[in-house]
Amino acid sequence: MPRASLSTTITRFLRYMATERNASDLTIKAYREDLIGFAQWIGGSDDVGTSVDALTPSHLRQFQSALQQADYAKSTISRKLASLRSFFKFAMREGATKTNPAKPLRNPRQNRKLPLVLSDCEIGRLLTAPSAHDPAGLRDRAILETMYSAGLRVSELVGLRDGDLDFSQGITRVRGKGRKERISPLGSYAIEAIRTYAARRTRSAKAEMLGQAAPVFVNRFGNILTTRSVGRMLDKYIAAAELDTRTSPHTLRHSFATHLLDRGADIRSVQELLGHKSLTTTQIYTHVSAVNLRAIYEQAHPRAQ
């Protein structure tokens, strides 16, 4: 039986992720870049050749070392190692190799930075920055209100369809990472903003033609927004509200989670609302919340300093 080549197995793995695991286009793109980069490195590093079963943990440790010497960010190295782990698990199931050489690898220790969080006052300035007198401003205000109200990722926001909204229950269906669905709350401000915007929204001709539910947020031509266009829109209002220039669309999600914890929400509920698979991912916000509480204490308590 011929030995499975690395390039052929990578192609099969990417096809498997797209068709059977229903991975997103961005996930497929990241896997492709990581695995092809590894294949190019291993092809020029020693005499392994192109066979999957010829690879050993030593080869992968050398690859990790090469990434570190090239000054890749620790988060990037961790992602590339995760891609290799997933790939070799697939290769074992397919019989391309009998062992998983990526299994012994350990991710580099991360220097976790606390995410930027906006104060209540800053959130208020940002949400009221768009004009309330023209269609673009009404749309942008609805976008910002919805992102903060439900703690959405930008990709989740642009993927919302009219059928996902349930104003009577104050909820929306959200499609998160890995196409996993969850239910997120919508506050009264977000519901009012969406309704006001929807009354003057340009209809999606493409969606109507295909008989699909219309996207909630569209551009002036009635087409679905891109994540990049939302980022550009936000930059304009960040400047108008005179906020920290590091503020990004994800800052609204960080602020959503931190404000909930500050006001007594339990971490398991916040994990569910954010759609985090692991509680460890959510725990970063407990550190942010503690920092905020310490600042309030030092400002308010007469014998804090």
Residue 174 is given by DSSP the state E
- Of 32, 125, 206, 250, catalytic: 250
**184 three-class SS:** strand
> H-type helices in 152-187, by residue range?
154-158
Euclidean distance between the first and the last CA atom of the chain, given in angstroms as a whole number: 74
β-strand partners of 166: 171
- Decide if 153 is catalytic: yes
- Of 177, 182, 189, 206, catalytic: 177
- Decide if 32 is catalytic: no
- Of 59, 253, 254, 259, catalytic: 253
Share in percent of the chain as helix, strand, coil (round to 5)? 60, 5, 35
Specify whether the CB–CB gap between 156 and 216 falls below 8 A. no
Residue 3 is given by DSSP the state P
- Decide if 173 is catalytic: no
- Of 31, 148, 197, 285, catalytic: 285
- Of 59, 141, 153, 259, catalytic: 153
**2 three-class SS:** coil
Amino acid identity, position 72: Y
Phi and psi (nearest 5°) for 89?
Answer: -65, -45
- Decide if 74 is catalytic: no
Give me 182's structure tokens. 């969850």
β-strand partners of 215: 161
Question: In Å, what is the CA distance from 49 to each residue of 5, 24, 299?
Answer: 9, 31, 64
Specify whether the CB–CB gap between 4 and 25 falls below 8 A. no
C-alpha–C-alpha distance, residues 5 and 3, integer Å: 6
For the residues of 198-228, what is the DSSP string, one character each?
A: HTTPPP-HHHHHHTPPPBSSB-TTSPBPPHH
> H-type helices in the chain, by residue range?
6-19, 25-43, 57-69, 74-93, 120-127, 135-150, 154-158, 188-198, 205-210, 227-240, 249-262, 267-274, 279-282, 284-300
- Of 59, 139, 259, 276, catalytic: 276
Catalytic residue numbers, as ranges: 153, 177, 250, 253, 276, 285
